[in-house]
Amino acid sequence: MPNLLEQLRRMTTVVSDTGDINSIIQFKPTDSTTNPSLIATAAAMPAYASIVDDVLLEAREQAGPSASDSEVAALAFKSLAVAFGRKILEIVPGRVSTEVDARISYDRDKSVAMARDIIAQYEKAGISRERILIKLASTWAGIQAAEVLEKEGIHCNMTLLFGMHQAVACAEAKVTLISPFVGRILDWYKKDTGKDYQGADDPGVQSVTKIYNYYKKFGYKTQVMGASFRNIGEIIELAGCDLLTIAPKLLSELESKQGPLERKLDPAKAAAMNIEKIPMNEETFEKMHAEDRMAHDKLTEGIEGFSKALQELERLLCKRLGELREKQPVGAH
């Protein structure tokens, strides 16, 4: 009998949730996604020092000899996620997700400008925008930015998504993909209630199931990609979801297990369900967001966490720049 990972691939697109290129080579996912925390972790690994150094040297050359280390690091930071994305695209046949700076999550215009810059960097390297997903936080501003970008043929992956109001707004904005965070929803409920949840009782699983059924019922083209898993039980309960982005440790666990895998999410079943449509505008979104304590808490926490990871990454780049300057004179490349 095929293992659970092989069976899952027959009903769901499997995406690798990592910045570790060696893990991507091992598991051969269709697509790959990264986030600021993953990029920061990968950038600190000796295996990827050459990618980091190349980006830093290029940024130093662009900034000129009078630029401070922090200015060069800020310039390099913009290119680093794209540099990792380009490496990943040499391995995966599909797409890579690259994230807009979390610190501008509440600014539509800045988010649009940064997304265009990321796409321009990929296109300059000869990579089609069809292979890139721009990741944006699912704030109202982020979703409006995605609506603008989608009209320009720039595909978006909405992250830090926890509530039904965020999912409905994304579908109405015609975004390509959403990434509801299964494990982070579970974390919040465990902390809030003191209970443990298993299988179909997992609140994160229930949230993604509800979103998936809503999308399929009303024929939205936006795809659902479950993300942030804590255990393979959550993945098994979401078999059949459009896509699932899974960390290497859990991919390995799925690969090592045998047994039948039942399809849990099915568009035909969803189409037959009695589901009420939710009209969406900014006022409704903000009202629902304020009333959903979990979504409110986790979105704020997620943006703060990603922002902190970016600050750590900038510090790492500054430190590495100092080390490089000792080895190589300014202006040499």
Give me the long-range contacts of 15-20 (CB less than 8 A, separation at least 24).
Answer: 15/225, 15/243, 15/244, 15/245, 15/246, 16/92, 16/245, 16/246, 16/248, 16/251, 17/227, 17/228, 17/245, 17/246, 17/247, 18/42, 18/247, 18/248, 19/43, 19/84, 20/45, 20/248
DSSP 3-state of 278? coil
Distance CA 148, CA 154 (A): 9
Angle at Cα 57 formed by Cα 52 and Cα 60, nearest 5°?
125
Distance CA 210, CA 270 (A): 9
All residues at 6 or more sequence positions from 245 whose CB lies less than 8 Å from its CB, including other chains:
15, 16, 17, 31, 33, 179, 225, 226, 227
Closest to 245 measured CA to CA, from 15, 80, 37: 15
What does the longest C-alpha to C-alpha distance in the chain come to?
A: 68
Give Cα 6 to chain centroid, integer Å.
23
Distance CA 50, CA 227 (A): 29
Handedness of CA 106, 110, 114, 119 (dihedral sign): positive
Distance CA 65, CA 315 (A): 20
Q: List phi, psi (to 5°) of 113.
A: -65, -45
Structure tokens at 53: 């150094």
Active site residue 135: yes
Structure tokens at 283: 């006022």
Q: Which of 87, 135, 249, 264 is catalytic?
A: 135
Positions marked catalytic: 135
